[in-house]
Chains A and B, each alone.
Chain A
């Protein structure tokens, strides 16, 4: 009896649970006849759910309608619920004693009866809960829950438990853990062992029934075996007999793609890549021809000692070198790395720029423009021109033999008498000194009272006269350093022209000297309007030219005639700042050197015949070859230009021998020599042979560099002149000396 009741109870319990979980269980209750109806229905229900689709599809044609069956199901469901309720009542009755009699009767009839009740859903004996599934809060404040058939209240079991009772119960009652409170009837139910077991199984997700086999062999309804009879009688569709359109479309697309080459058949695996063979088995010369223009890349330069991991100590950087290396731009560095020394091989670290360097090499290989550069492999000795040996070109001055001392200022100008015996020099100390050449003895000193700019001995050997330029005066001095005949001749020249023409307003004024000056030998004074810089004699000794450089006037050059004491200005126009002038030694030509060019005037025809371009910035001095066909010009930009008048107006040769401004140039009267004096304190003597044959160019060979003058105030040698007969040269310098080189 206990057992059955417990069974029923369990069923009731499970039924409740089912209700909470699924509403549609117990569908197949009609067919099943089991005590544990709660099990099977669930299973069946599941099955039904699973199969519902297929069943529908299979039986759709045969079944009347889906809705009917559902209704039936609903109905059965309801029945089930009712039945459950029966059970519940049954259980309840046991405790509440309300329907005691019925219960007893039913118990007596045992299981058979239970079966009957189960089938008979209409018979509901003990309904404990008559209110149905409503929220129980509604009855919270009442002592009863619902009403029985007679309309009497069904009272709740008397409960006066408070929290303390509950706690005590929890502590004392060993069955407390299996006691469940039923809200619908407000009663406590103690679960039996089986029920607890059942709950545990369900919690584990197992079947409630211990004996149920989940893995029963199933009957295959659809199998690979062809059955004798079809499952359905439905005739096959038409589409199963005709080819599929969609498939056709897909295939045709593929075919089209293959035809168009969009899809390629799978490539045959080509393993020839990475397989090597004798590539140069047949060397083809035809390809060689294509590579004429090809320049192979230069190889990387090989490393030197300094790249060694253990270089000799001299290759290591000192601190300064290292600092310099670090300061320098990477492109300026001589070495791209700092040499380092390691005492053993195991200490050598990896080179941090290794990949960089390789990458740079790669860039060089494909980005650098290549150019074939012819390397000049010249022996520097071959570059030096082959010149005749100076020894063969002797005589020329080689050594300093005499020094003429006496002046206290710088000696601006020197001149040698035509006989070669006397040397006159004019200095900034305001004196003109006459020296005997051979003994270096000063024979005479004339105080002129001003810095002497220029001095010139009359080239006519039959007279002994000297022109001296200082300030704006040109003095004619008769030094009386010759035999009587010559002196008297010069006197005659000076005295013979008493008649004086009235000079023009701006012209120079001639005057005779008296007294002190006369006793010193100064005979004539030509007063110029401006400062005179240079005087030059004509070869005959009668004409004298004086230069007054001035930018803004045409009164720059005067030509004086001594015999008639007459002066004239040959130029009507200012053609530039005149630097120096010179007469042609044999023909009536007059050379005027301005800053950049030399003009040659024909004095007879009164016209300019030639203009020589000196190619230099500022001409300082000029000399005319005794033959008259060659001119040399020294300039302040260190150059000396040699003009061949027959050849061209451009210099035949530019000589850049000096380091500083050229101050004076001179030709030797008889030997093929010329010299240039410069501020660098040197006099350079060159051999310059001029040939009579017009086709042969002059031969110019520097033969000697003469040094001796001391540079004072940045001035070196100021004037240079040759001895008229000997291969000697005089030079005057800023150190107040005159030197003779022989």
Chain B
């Protein structure tokens, strides 16, 4: 007979996976170091298909890593750096304990450092890969840049984050790539299209953070360390793709005076963060050449559609061109300045808020004054005083919305999320319908809109009523029959009475429909168990969607009715 006895768990799935603890031992790292390594290298656990097989027969909950991943980590130079750092800390502690200050100093000078460049190159082999993954990096950097310098992380990290985010925003302005903005209760979402990738990031509101105690800032700091490096390289590449200088410089930068260099650098940074000046270019090209699409003979329709889209985008990009905005001091300056500049508008603010204001309140050419207070004392005649939501709504609607709804003291229309794309059967809030109508170029008055709605509702009602009627008819007939039957069975003395029968109007379409429905029902009966389950699940999901949409619609209707009633009361 044959060979050695096969041992369990020595081949197959069991050898492809490794538990976290064993991986840690294999790499000879402490848990925090292992965690950091995993974060930096982007290694994540894998869920084995057959947990029991991998877990050597046990069902205890364990995290498994791919053996391949861990073997890949073994050759990582940064692991050596981690060990070096560990030793450094140990030596430093010892020197402190012995109060050998010269040794401490010497050790400090030789503090081991590491670079993450190669890891970034390894994790994102191509630039597009990096861009695809930049969402989280941006969110994190924007969050860290709002931290106070109170020891939750290094001050340098905060400064670096701030610098990188400012650079990013400047790039988005220079490339005019912002697409959507959304003011949520969490913060402000921005979506930009950079090199064909949609990049969404969330910026918290400018408040000091109430630092929670159940958050491990070390983990966050490690992520930030990686993300700042990534964002730096991405910024570099993006700036160079636009022929901009990196690190960025403002166009009309003041000439450097030798002694004041550091102050001036700081000033430039400030100016950059003001987002009001355009950036200096490597080659001062007069006009960018837009790459014209070549005409392809085939599928003209597609071409036309694409062209149309492009035109629309172009129009959106220049939406605020020629408009001059002035920000009052209570509005979020950075966000508004960023958005307005992204769409070609000119923007300024009070000198005392921030440097970089370009014109004064008294400027006669200002077209829009953005105010976020119930009333304002001194108003200029030749400009609109509007609330900040107008800017964001315009961006999302891709057209300049009528300003009437956004004047000072007016109840604002709801701010809708631009990220929701309604499919067939989803609930669409009426405000969205209005905006869509505006986009199509129609100019429906408010009343018309309402009428339309009502008409639609009526139509719906009519349909339903028809259905009901038919059903009722049938029911009545049934009832008659039943009565007759009952009479026949119970009372022996049949009331012989001939009533003129109604000619039943057969609706062929309806009959056909019913037939089809029954056919379907019968076919569903014949489904296999598995398919039936799946089918039921799908149908359940669909029904739930419908139910939710109906619920929203009903809620809206109730609200509108209540509003109307209130109005009527007020009128009376």
A and B interact physically = yes
- The interface of chain A, by Cβ under 8 A from chain B, is 263-264, 266-267, 270, 272-274, 276-280, 283-285, 287-288, 290-291, 293-294, 296-297, 299-300, 302-305, 307-315, 318, 337, 339-340, 342-346, 348-352, 354-359, 361-363, 365-371, 376, 378, 380, 383-387, 389-391, 403, 405-406, 655, 657, 684, 700-705
- The interface of chain B, by Cβ under 8 A from chain A, is 35, 38-39, 42-47, 63-64, 66, 68, 72, 106, 109-110, 113, 115, 117, 120-122, 124-127, 130, 132-133, 135-136, 139-140, 143, 160, 182-187, 189, 200, 204-205, 207-212, 214-216, 219-220, 223, 232-233, 235-237, 240, 246, 330-332, 372-373, 387-389, 411-412, 414-417, 419-420, 429-431, 485, 488-489, 515, 518-528, 531, 534-535, 538-539, 542, 552-553, 555-556, 559
Residues of chain A within 8 A of B35, CB atoms compared: 366
Minimal Cβ-Cβ distance residue in A for B389: A345
Q: Do A376 and B143 touch across chains, with their CB atoms under 8 A apart?
A: no
Can you list 9 A-B pairs, Cβ within 8 angstroms, ordered by A? A283-B127, A296-B133, A307-B182, A308-B182, A308-B416, A314-B429, A366-B44, A371-B47, A380-B542
Q: Do B373 and A390 touch across chains, with their CB atoms under 8 A apart?
A: no
How far apart are the CA atoms of A160 and B35 in the complex, in Å? Answer: 98
Q: Do B127 and A280 touch across chains, with their CB atoms under 8 A apart?
A: yes
Residues of chain B within 8 A of A344, CB atoms compared: 372, 387, 412
Known: A313-B556, A406-B489. 19 other contacts (CB 8 A): A277-B233, A279-B233, A279-B236, A284-B125, A302-B417, A303-B417, A305-B416, A308-B182, A308-B416, A345-B387, A350-B208, A357-B186, A366-B35, A366-B219, A367-B44, A367-B45, A380-B538, A384-B524, A390-B522
Q: Do B415 and A346 touch across chains, with their CB atoms under 8 A apart?
A: no
Residues of chain A within 8 A of B185, CB atoms compared: 307-309, 337, 339-340, 342, 348, 351
Partner of B126, one of A280, A300, A701, A705: A280
Residues of chain A within 8 A of B518, CB atoms compared: 390, 705
Q: Do B121 and A346 touch across chains, with their CB atoms under 8 A apart?
A: no
How far apart are the CA atoms of A270 and B522 in the complex, in Å? Answer: 78
Partner of B414, one of A303, A312, A367, A384: A312
How far apart are the CA atoms of A305 and B182 in the complex, in Å? Answer: 10
How far apart are the CA atoms of A362 and B143 in the complex, in Å? Answer: 13
A731 to chain B, nearest CB (A): 16
Known A296-B133, A352-B210, A355-B211; contact A279-B117, beta-carbon cutoff 8 A: yes
Residues of chain A within 8 A of B535, CB atoms compared: 380, 383-384
Q: Do A371 and B46 touch across chains, with their CB atoms under 8 A apart?
A: yes
Q: Do A354 and B143 touch across chains, with their CB atoms under 8 A apart?
A: yes
Q: Do B68 and A293 touch across chains, with their CB atoms under 8 A apart?
A: yes
Residues of chain A within 8 A of B207, CB atoms compared: 349-350
Minimal Cβ-Cβ distance residue in A for B563: A313
B278 to chain A, nearest CB (A): 22
A638 to chain B, nearest CB (A): 12
Q: Do A385 and B526 touch across chains, with their CB atoms under 8 A apart?
A: yes
A64 to chain B, nearest CB (A): 48
B474 to chain A, nearest CB (A): 13
Interface centre among B110, B136, B388, B556, by most chain A C-beta atoms within 10 angstroms, is: B136
Q: Do A299 and B135 touch across chains, with their CB atoms under 8 A apart?
A: yes
Known A277-B236, A314-B559; contact A384-B520, beta-carbon cutoff 8 A: yes
Partner of A304, one of B127, B132, B417: B417
Residues of chain A within 8 A of B126, CB atoms compared: 280, 283, 288
Q: Do A362 and B219 touch across chains, with their CB atoms under 8 A apart?
A: yes
Interface centre among B44, B72, B535, by most chain A C-beta atoms within 10 angstroms, is: B44
Residues of chain A within 8 A of B189, CB atoms compared: 302-303
Q: Do B205 and A346 touch across chains, with their CB atoms under 8 A apart?
A: no
Known A351-B205, A405-B488; contact A311-B46, beta-carbon cutoff 8 A: no
Partner of A266, one of B39, B109, B208: B109
Residues of chain B within 8 A of A318, CB atoms compared: 555
A522 to chain B, nearest CB (A): 27
Q: Do B489 and A405 touch across chains, with their CB atoms under 8 A apart?
A: yes
How far apart are the CA atoms of A86 and B419 in the complex, in Å? Answer: 113
Residues of chain B within 8 A of A378, CB atoms compared: 534, 538
How far apart are the CA atoms of A317 and B115 in the complex, in Å? Answer: 49
How far apart are the CA atoms of A342 and B467 in the complex, in Å? Answer: 43
Residues of chain B within 8 A of A267, CB atoms compared: 109-110
Q: Do A384 and B219 touch across chains, with their CB atoms under 8 A apart?
A: no
B414 to chain A, nearest CB (A): 4
Q: Do B237 and A280 touch across chains, with their CB atoms under 8 A apart?
A: yes
Q: Do B526 and A345 touch across chains, with their CB atoms under 8 A apart?
A: no
Q: Do B184 and A389 touch across chains, with their CB atoms under 8 A apart?
A: no
Minimal Cβ-Cβ distance residue in A for B210: A352
> What 5 pairs across the A-B complex have the smallest Cβ distances?
A302-B419, A350-B207, A405-B489, A369-B47, A314-B556
B63 to chain A, nearest CB (A): 7
How far apart are the CA atoms of A358 and B209 in the complex, in Å? Answer: 13
Residues of chain B within 8 A of A315, CB atoms compared: 552
Q: Do A308 and B186 touch across chains, with their CB atoms under 8 A apart?
A: no
Q: Do B416 and A312 touch across chains, with their CB atoms under 8 A apart?
A: yes
Q: Do B184 and A309 touch across chains, with their CB atoms under 8 A apart?
A: yes
B533 to chain A, nearest CB (A): 10
A615 to chain B, nearest CB (A): 13
Q: Do A280 and B525 touch across chains, with their CB atoms under 8 A apart?
A: no
B265 to chain A, nearest CB (A): 15
Partner of B110, one of A264, A288, A345, A405: A264
B339 to chain A, nearest CB (A): 13
How far apart are the CA atoms of A357 and B126 in the complex, in Å? Answer: 29
A304 to chain B, nearest CB (A): 5
Minimal Cβ-Cβ distance residue in A for B117: A279
Known A362-B219, A384-B524; contact A283-B125, beta-carbon cutoff 8 A: yes
B467 to chain A, nearest CB (A): 21
How far apart are the CA atoms of A270 and B113 in the complex, in Å? Answer: 9
How far apart are the CA atoms of A299 and B201 in the complex, in Å? Answer: 11
How far apart are the CA atoms of A318 and B562 in the complex, in Å? Answer: 14
How far apart are the CA atoms of A403 and B182 in the complex, in Å? Answer: 68
Q: Do A356 and B212 touch across chains, with their CB atoms under 8 A apart?
A: yes
Interface centre among B488, B526, B539, by most chain A C-beta atoms within 10 angstroms, is: B526
How far apart are the CA atoms of A405 and B240 in the complex, in Å? Answer: 93
Q: Do A312 and B372 touch across chains, with their CB atoms under 8 A apart?
A: no
Residues of chain B within 8 A of A345, CB atoms compared: 183, 331-332, 372, 387-389
Known A343-B411, A384-B527; contact A351-B200, beta-carbon cutoff 8 A: no
Q: Do B526 and A701 touch across chains, with their CB atoms under 8 A apart?
A: yes
How far apart are the CA atoms of A313 and B562 in the complex, in Å? Answer: 12
How far apart are the CA atoms of A705 and B525 in the complex, in Å? Answer: 11
Q: Do A702 and B526 touch across chains, with their CB atoms under 8 A apart?
A: yes
How far apart are the CA atoms of A578 and B403 in the complex, in Å? Answer: 85
Partner of B534, one of A303, A365, A376, A391: A376
A513 to chain B, nearest CB (A): 31
How far apart are the CA atoms of A270 and B38 in the complex, in Å? Answer: 26
Minimal Cβ-Cβ distance residue in A for B184: A307
A317 to chain B, nearest CB (A): 10
Minimal Cβ-Cβ distance residue in A for B35: A366
B25 to chain A, nearest CB (A): 19
Interface centre among A277, A368, A370, by most chain B C-beta atoms within 10 angstroms, is: A277
How far apart are the CA atoms of A311 and B431 in the complex, in Å? Answer: 10
Residues of chain B within 8 A of A300, CB atoms compared: 135-136, 200
Q: Do B534 and A343 touch across chains, with their CB atoms under 8 A apart?
A: no
Q: Do B143 and A305 touch across chains, with their CB atoms under 8 A apart?
A: no
Residues of chain B within 8 A of A385, CB atoms compared: 523, 526-528, 531
